[in-house]
Amino acid sequence: MRYCRGCGFPVPYGRFLQWTSDGTILGKDKGRTRLVYLEVDEMRHLYAGVSSWIGVPIDRIIYRAEKEVGRRFIETLLPAIISRMPRGHFRPEWGVKATAGYVLNYMSGLGMGHAEVFDYQSGRSSRVRIVNPHVMALIAGDAAGVFGNLERVPVEARWERIKTEEYYLYIEKEEGAQATPAIERLGLEEKGYLPGKVEFDACKCGVPLDVTRNIYLDLEKGILVNRVTGLREVALPVPSFDAVFREFTREFGADLPATMEDLEQEYARENSAVRYLAGTRGPESMMTILSDFPWRGIGNPVAAGPVQGGLQVVIENPFHAGVVAGRVAGLYEAWTGTQVGVSWQEDAPGRLRVTLTQ
């Protein structure tokens, strides 16, 4: 792995990811997959909150939703001639194992943990050691999707904890399952975004200095650490977040989205460092609080101003409207030390208006 002499980040980071002027981060893969930087504790808080709300474990639901994302993601990451090649003589076992290793290493660079393929039996099973997973159910879904796609057979995965942050992941062919054809590339298509005017000072490798100043990547451990807060982060594909969110809504009903928004607001309020920011309590300072949204890929804050009884904020290209609204409210609460009500609406596709009231 080559590292940039200017900023210390791996050189492939700038080659694989693009920070845009519209507040999004896009992969340079065929699907132009959008990514967002989130705190690992933040994701775990959301999932634990949903589990507590419904009163049952949700790991298998997360796994099931992510499995299809992993299967489709590999179609965008690998050249079509490789990903669509049939199993057998033209796709030897060592090739499948090497390709899976490449994808798992890519995931390490996003802060999802470190994975190592231990045992592998072509067309039958695999055992993978996972260290420091951001969310184990997501890793299992991704890995099952990758192996299922490469092997052209339906697979299932299960995992067991070995140590606090170490697991064995077992991927096995479903009993009685037959080989499946290569899937079509769908679901991760490039979306249109509202144009923006975000500008980044970037290193010569292409990575914004806002990222290199705030994020430290330990590739061997597969983790990203925020240099300022000391908290662990992950660069999560937005289709992954969306798939799990949709599955939750399908399973638990229309009240689930509001619950997720409340959980995000709670997390931002209790864990944000913005309370230590100096400055006046006005709209200009509110924009400063949201200034990390573009380099995180959360969205592009374009306006903040007073309204009757409160404050209104406009975010363009939010990675998820409801969760971003909850985040804005929680950051405001952490900053002011007061709790607020929050409502939001999408004026147009890609334009989120968040209203905070006392």
**Boundaries of domain holding 315:** 254-357
Residue 86 within any structural domain of the chain: yes
Output the domain CATH number for residue 347: 3.30.1380.20
pLDDT at 21 (0 to 100): 97
166 and 60 assigned to the same domain: yes
- Name the H helices within 55-162: 59-77, 80-83, 93-109, 136-151
Q: What share of the chain is helix, strand, coil (3-state, %, to 5)?
A: 40, 25, 35
Task: Return the closest-CA partner of residue 17 out of 25, 9, 8, 6.
Answer: 25
Helix (H) or strand (E) holding 265: helix 256-271
SS3 state of residue 339: coil
pLDDT at 177 (0 to 100): 54
Edge-to-edge, what's the strand order for the sheet holding 34-39? 17-19, 25-27, 34-39, 232-237, 223-226, 215-218
DSSP 195: -
pLDDT at 184 (0 to 100): 41
Residue 50 within any structural domain of the chain: no
pLDDT in tens, the chain (358 residues): 678 889 888 888 888 899 999 999 998 877 789 999 999 999 999 999 999 999 999 999 999 999 988 877 777 666 554 555 555 444 566 666 677 777 778 889 999 999 998 888 877 888 999 999 999 999 999 989 888 877 778 899 999 999 999 999 999 988 765 555 444 433 444 568 999 999 999 999 999 999 999 999 998 999 999 998 899 999 999 999 999 999 999 999 888 889 999 999 999 999 887 755 545 455 568 898 999 999 999 999 999 999 988 999 999 999 999 999 999 999 999 988 889 999 999 999 999 999 999 8
Stated length of the chain: 358
* Domain final position from 128, 148, 173: 173
259 and 166 assigned to the same domain: no
Residue type, 12: P
Residue 20 within any structural domain of the chain: no
Residue 328 within any structural domain of the chain: yes
60 and 169 assigned to the same domain: yes
Residue 60 within any structural domain of the chain: yes
Q: How many domains does the chain have?
A: 2
Cβ pair 67, 139 in contact under 8 A: no
pLDDT at 281 (0 to 100): 56
Residue 215 within any structural domain of the chain: no
Tell me the CA distances in angstroms from 226 to 135, 214, 258, one per residue in order.
Answer: 18, 5, 28
Residue type, 283: P
pLDDT at 278 (0 to 100): 45
pLDDT at 185 (0 to 100): 37
Residue 192 within any structural domain of the chain: no
* Domain final position from 132, 150, 173: 173
Task: Return the closest-CA partner of residue 114 out of 127, 105, 124, 101.
Answer: 105
**306-323 b/e (C-beta count within 10 Å ≥ 16 → b):** eeeeebbbbbbbbbbbbb
161 and 260 assigned to the same domain: no
* Domain final position from 128, 151, 173: 173
Helix (H) or strand (E) holding 334: helix 321-336
Residue 309 within any structural domain of the chain: yes
